[in-house]
A and B are shown apart, each in its own frame.
Chain A
Amino acid sequence: MSDAPERKHSEVADVDRSLYDFVMPEEGYERYDDGLTPDIVRAISAKKDEPAWMRELRLKALDAFHEMRMASNWGPDVSALDMDHISTYVSPQTKQARNWDDVPDDIKTTFERLGIPEAERESLAGVGAQYDSEIVYHNMREEVAEQGVIYTTIEDALHDPQWEPVVHQYFGTLIPMRDHKFAALHYAVWSGGSFVYVPAGVSLSYPLQSYFRLNASGAGQFEHTLIIVEEGADLHFIEGCSAPKYYEANLHAGAVELFVKDHARLRYSTIENWSKNMFNLNTKRATVGADAKMEWVSGSFGSHVSYLYPTTFLQGARSSCEFTGITFAGATQDLDTGCKVILNGADTTASVDTKSISKDGGVNTFRSSVIIGRRADRARATVSCSSLMLDDISRSDTIPAMDVRNPTASVGHEATIGRISDDTILYLMSRGCSEAEARTMVVNGFANPVSKELPLEYAVEMNNLIKLEMEGAIG
C-alpha cells in the first residue's frame, strides 16, 4: 500500500502544517522567568492589578500544584514537561484593541493567515484573539452588545464594579483548584481568556469565537473561559487554538467553566490544532440546569500529549448533553481524550458519539466516565465510540467507565475498532478513485458526523486537515 511512506510523509508534513506553522519574532516582549515561584505568581497578579481574593487564590493554587502528583497508573507520559523550562507568562507589548488596524503588524498578520478577521466579518457575532498570555483583540457586534450580552476578558470584567462580583461568584467554582495538578497550575498563573454573559431569554443568531495562539517557544498558555448563559438564553461559542512547532515543550493548561441555566442552550465547539510539541492539559466543565441543553463539538488534531475530557453535570431535571468528538492522532502524538457526564437530575439524557483515527504510530485513547446518581430517575445515557486504525504501528484504546446507581436508569454502550476494509477501497478504486482518494473519502465519511456539527468554515478546515494528514499516510 505504501511503497515509500517515510519520504512522502515528511514532504507532506512540511507542507501540511504551514498554515499554522509560522513563527513571529518575540523581540521586545515581556517574558517572565521560566519556572514557577510565588514571586512570578505575584508579578502576574500585580501586572493585572487584580483584587486581593484573586491573588490569594493564585498563591493557594501554587501550593496545591507543588503538592499534587499526576496519577502514575494511567494516562500519557508527561515527564518531558519540565516546568523549570516553561515561561508561564509571555506578553506582547500592546494594548487590547477593538480594531484590527490597532493590532501590531506581526500579530495581525498571524490572525489574518488563520482567517480570523475574515470569519469575523462574515459569520461571527464577536471575536476575541489571544496571543501568548494576553488577549490582543476583542470586539463584538453592536446589536449583540445592545441585547446586554457581555463578551470581554476576565481581567476587564474584574476591573468593572458591575461584573467583578459576578466573576467572584462563579470563578473557580466548577473546576476546583485541586481537581488535578494542572488545574492547580492553571489557577496559579491563569492569564487571558474570555468572560461571556448572555442575559435571560437572549438568543444569539451568530456564534462568538475566541482564538488562542501560542507563538512563544518554551512557554505556557493558561487562559480562563467563564461563560454564563442565563435562563432561556442561547449561545454558540467557538474556540480555536494553534501554535507553531518548536523542539521545546510548550504547555497549554486552560480552564473552561460553563454555567447553563434552566431552559438555556449552549453549544461549545472546539477545533484544537496545537503543534506537536504541545502538552495540552486542558480542563472544561459545564453545569446544566433544568430543561437546558449542553452540546459539545470537539475536534482534536494537534498536540504532542493531550489530556482532555470535557465534563458535564446534568443537575436539572430533563437537562441533556450531547457530545460529538473526533481525535486524530498521527506520528509522535499520544492523545488521551474523551468526556465525562454526571447525570444527577431526573429524566436527564446524555449521548456521546466519538470517533478516533490513528496513524503513523499515533496513540489514541478514548477515556470516558458516565455516572448516574441515585436520584437520576429514568436517566438515559448512550455512549458510542468507533476507532479507525490506518496502519499496524498505531494504537487505539477505548476505556469507558460507567457507574450506575439508579435502578430506573438505562445505559447503553458500544465500541468498535477496526480498519478500512479492503473491499471498500477496492470498490471505490473500481469506480475510478485513486487509493489515496478512496482512503481520504472513507476517512472523511467516518469523520462526517463530527464535521457536520461544525460551522461551515471549521468543517472545511477539518476536512482539509484530514486530507493533508491522509496524504501523508499514503505512499
Chain B
Amino acid sequence: MAEKLAANAATKLSHVNVPPAQTWNYLRINDIAFEVPAPVTKGEVLSRLPRLFDAVETGIGTEAASWIVSASGDSRYVEVKAGTHRAEPIVVDVDAAAGTVCDTGVLVREGAEATVVVAAHGTPAEAGTTAALVRIVAERRAHVTLVEVVALGKGSQHLEGIGIDAAEGAMVDVRQYALGGEKVAMGICTNLAGRKARLTQDMRYLARGSEQLDVNHVVRQRGRLTKSEIVTSGILADAAHKTMRETIDLIHGAKGAEGREIETVLVAGDDVVNKTLPTILCDEDDVAGNHGASIGSISPEQLAYLADRGVSTADAEALFARAIFDDAVIHAPEATSRNAALSRAELVLGTEIARDVAEGLGLDEGEEH
C-alpha cells in the first residue's frame, strides 16, 4: 500500500483515460496525464490476481492500470460462488489518509449475484494520490451491481480504473458518483461479450472550485442482442474542468445490439471548461446506436416550472447539487460509501442540509426505501 510508493520519486502517466477512437490532438480531449509516485520494489513476492483478469480491459488504460498493479503490492481476489447471492457488498475502501492504491479482482460465477462498492474518501487535509483498479468477471447470468463514490477533498488526485467482462445473459448495473477531488480520473470499460449481456450505467457528478474531473466510459458490445443504457448528468460550477468521453462500440457480429447514451450537463460557473466526446463506433448493420447530449444552463422552461413552485434561480442550482447527494446516499449500499457521500455533502451543502439528506433517507433509523 502506501509504503510501496516512494516519497519523492515521480512517474508520469502520459495517456490515462484514452478512448477507443481519438480525434484532433489540439483539442486536448484524447487523454489526461498524471504525475504519480514511482512504485518501489523491495524484492517481495506479492500475490497477483488470477490470469483471467489480465484479459479484462479497464477504461483507464494499460499504462495507468500497470502502474496501479505495481504500486499496490498485494492484490485482493474475491470469488462469488455459482448460484449464490452475496448479500454483503464487496467493499474497496480507498482512504486518502492512508494513500490507498489497490488492485481488486472479483469473479462472479454463473448465476450469482454480488454488489461491489468502491468508495474513495478523504478530508481536504489529506492531499495525495489514491488509486483503485477493479476488474470484474461476470459469468453467465451473473448479476453485478457496482457503486462508485469518489468523495475526496482539495489537493487529492485519484485514479479509478474499472473493467467488467459480462458473459451471456449477465447483467451489470453501475452507479457512479463523482462528488469531489482535485484531479480525478474515472475510466470504466464494460465488455458485453455474451449474448444478451446488458449494462445500465448511471453517473452523477458535481465538480466545483478548480476541480478536474476526467471520465472515460467505454462499452464494447460484442455479443448478439446486447444492450447498454448509459445516462450521465452533472453540474459544473466555478472553474471546474470536466472531460467526458463516452464510447459505444458496436462490434462486428453484435446483431441486434442496442446502445444508448444520454448526457446532461448543467453549467453554473463563469470559468468552467466542459469537454465532451460522445462516440459511437459501428461495425455492424443490424444495430441501433443513439446518443443525445444537452449542455447549458437550466432551461427557461425548467426555471419557470421551479419558480412556480417557489424555487428561485439561485435556489435551483442548490437544488441540483443537493439532488446529486440525495441520489448518492440513497444508492450507497453500505456504510463506507454512504459516509463518504455524507461527509462530502457536509462540506459542499453545509451541515444543515447534509443532515437533512441523511435524515430524509431514513438513515437515522437504519431503514431504507
User: Which residues in A have some Cβ–Cβ distance to B below 8 Å?
Assistant: 71, 73-74, 367, 369, 387, 389-392, 394-405, 407-419
Contacts and interface: CB of A to CB of B under 8 A. Distances in A.
B285 A405 contact: no
Contact of A407 (B252, B282, B297): B297
B231 to A, nearest CB: 15
Contacts of A410: 294-297
Interface residues of B, number: 42
Given A369-B24, A392-B284, A417-B282, A404 B267 contact: yes
Contacts of A71: 24-25
B291 A398 contact: yes
Interface stretch (B124-132, B207-215, B272-280): B272-280
A418 B287 contact: yes
B286 interface: yes
6 contacts: A392-B286, A397-B282, A401-B23, A405-B272, A414-B291, A417-B287
B276 A402 contact: yes
B16 to A, nearest CB: 14
Contacts of A409: 267, 295-296
A335 to B, nearest CB: 15
Contact of B274 (A367, A395, A403): A403
A308 to B, nearest CB: 14
B270 A407 contact: yes
B289 interface: yes
B96 interface: no
A138 B268 CA distance: 55
B285 to A, nearest CB: 4
Given A411-B294, A415-B278, A395 B289 contact: no
Nearest to B285: A389
Contacts of A389: 282, 284-285, 287
B289 A390 contact: no
Contacts of A74: 21-24, 30
A405 B291 contact: no
Contacts of B277: 399-402
A73 B282 contact: no
Given A367-B23, A403-B275, A417 B280 contact: yes
Contacts of A405: 272-274
Contacts of B268: 407
A407 B21 contact: no
A72 to B, nearest CB: 10
Contacts of A396: 282
- The 3 A-B residue pairs with the shortest CB-CB distance, nearest first, are A410-B296, A389-B285, A417-B289
Contact of A413 (B27, B269, B292): B292
Contact of A394 (B278, B285, B293): B285
Main secondary structure of the interface of A (DSSP, over half): strand
Given A74-B22, A391-B285, A416-B290, 15 more contacts: A71-B25, A73-B30, A367-B24, A395-B282, A399-B279, A401-B27, A404-B265, A407-B267, A407-B268, A407-B269, A413-B276, A413-B293, A414-B291, A415-B278, A417-B282
Interface of B: 21-25, 27, 29-30, 250, 252, 255, 265, 267-270, 272-297
B252 A392 contact: yes
Contacts of B294: 410-413
Contact of A73 (B25, B275, B281): B25
Contacts of A73: 22, 25, 30
A390 B267 CA distance: 39
Contacts of B280: 397-398, 415, 417
B211 to A, nearest CB: 16
Contacts of A407: 267-270, 272, 297
Contacts of A400: 277-279
B290 A419 contact: no
Given A403-B273, A415-B289, A397 B278 contact: no
Contacts of B27: 369, 401, 403
B269 to A, nearest CB: 6
Nearest to B24: A369
Contacts of B21: 74, 397, 399
A412 B293 contact: yes
A109 B88 CA distance: 81
B29 A404 contact: no
Contact of A402 (B272, B282, B285, B293): B293
A367 B279 CA distance: 9
Nearest to A379: B296
A409 B274 CA distance: 11
B273 A390 contact: no
Nearest to B247: A399
B289 A416 contact: yes
Contacts of A395: 281-283
Nearest to B269: A407
A403 B30 contact: no
A402 B296 CA distance: 12
Nearest to B296: A410
B275 A413 contact: no
Contacts of B293: 402, 411-414
Contacts of B265: 404
Given A74-B23, A403-B274, A408 B297 contact: yes
B284 A401 contact: no
Contacts of A418: 287-289
A475 B295 CA distance: 45
Given A389-B285, A395-B283, A369 B23 contact: yes
Contacts of A367: 23-24
A413 B29 contact: no
A439 to B, nearest CB: 12
Nearest to A422: B286
Contacts of A394: 285
A404 B27 CA distance: 12
A324 to B, nearest CB: 20
